Structure 1
Amino acid sequence: MSSVEDRLAEIGLTVPEVAAPVAAYVPVVRDGNLVFTSGQLPLVDGKLQATGKVGAEVSAEDAAKLAQICALNAIAAVKSEIGDLDQVTRVVKVVGFVASDPSFSGQPVVINGASELLATAFGERGAHARSAVGVAALPMDAPVEVEITVSVQ
């Protein structure tokens, strides 16, 4: 087990199996020392954990927890490509999409759920650039979707 997985275990989390794609794409691609994940939904054992718009059917607090699940799924995708998560030298970029009620503007708070998990998992290597974007809708009516780019040895 990697030190990343040890840190996740300390907070009661384990890296799941990589989530199966819901359309025509692959979950992860490596190009040189960069690993790019596809957008990850808040799926647990293949089941979407919530649906709806943040600020309407889903609270910002619940959406942040969903973003954490997305980040954990992104970590799983990275692991499926590189095997040992200790090979990650840096989380380079996080992009988070939040299906938002038109009046909701707290997208950064929601995506903090993903950013904070990555910081816990990777320590100082988890500091990253980020975008948090409000959108009208996401696949399967998911409230949040997260993709990450990491640099590896």
Structure 2
Amino acid sequence: MSAVEKRLAELGLTVPEVVPPVAAYQPAVVVDGVVYVSGQLPLVDGKLPLTGKVGAEVTPEQAYDLARTCGLNLIAALKHAVGDLDRIARIAKVGGFVASTPDFTGQPGVINGASELLGQAFGDAGQHARSAVGVPVLPLDTPVEVDLIAHVA
């Protein structure tokens, strides 16, 4: 068990199986020591726990939890790509997308769900640059999608 997985276990979490792609792409691709992880939805056992827009059907607190699930799915994709999570030298960039109503402006707080989990799991190596943007709709009517770029040691 990697140190990352031990830290997750202390949070009561385990790394799930990698989420199978819902279209024509790979969950993660490694190129020259850089891992590009495709956008991860908050799927749990193949299902979305919630659908809709943040600021309407989904509360910011629920969306935060969904982003945290996206973060766990990002970790699963990283593990699938590199094998040992301790090989991740740095989470460099996170991109967060929040399907939200036009008047909702709390996208950064929502994506903190993923960012904070990555920091807890990877320690200093989990501190990253980030974007958090609002969009009108996401695949499968998910409220949140998160991707990332990481460096392998």
The TM-score range, normalised by the shorter chain, is: over 0.9
* Cα offsets for 1:70-104 (capped at 9, x unmatched): 01101100100110000000000000000011110
Indicate whether 1:85 and 2:85 are aligned.
Answer: yes
Task: After TM superposition, give the deviation of residue 10 of structure 1 in Å.
Answer: 0.4
% identity of equivalent residues = 65
TM-score (norm 1): 0.99
Q: Secondary structure at the match of 1:118?
A: helix
Partner of 1:123: 123
Q: Distance in 1 between matches of 2:51 and 2:8?
A: 26
Task: After TM superposition, give the deviation of residue 49 of structure 1 in Å.
Answer: 1.4
Indicate whether 1:32 and 2:49 are aligned.
Answer: no
Paired positions, count: 153
Q: Secondary structure at the match of 2:20?
A: coil
Q: Distance in 1 between matches of 2:149 and 2:12?
A: 24
Q: Secondary structure at the match of 2:57?
A: coil
Which blocks of at least 5 consecutive residues in structure 2 are unaligned?
Answer: none
Partner of 1:70: 70
Q: Distance in 1 between matches of 2:12 and 2:49?
A: 18
Partner of 1:99: 99
Which blocks of at least 5 consecutive residues in structure 1 are unaligned?
Answer: none
TM-score (norm 2): 0.99
Task: After TM superposition, give the deviation of residue 32 of structure 1 in Å.
Answer: 1.0
* Cα offsets for 1:23-55 (capped at 9, x unmatched): 111111000110011000000111111100001
The runs of at least 4 aligned residues of structure 1 exceeding 3 Å deviation read none
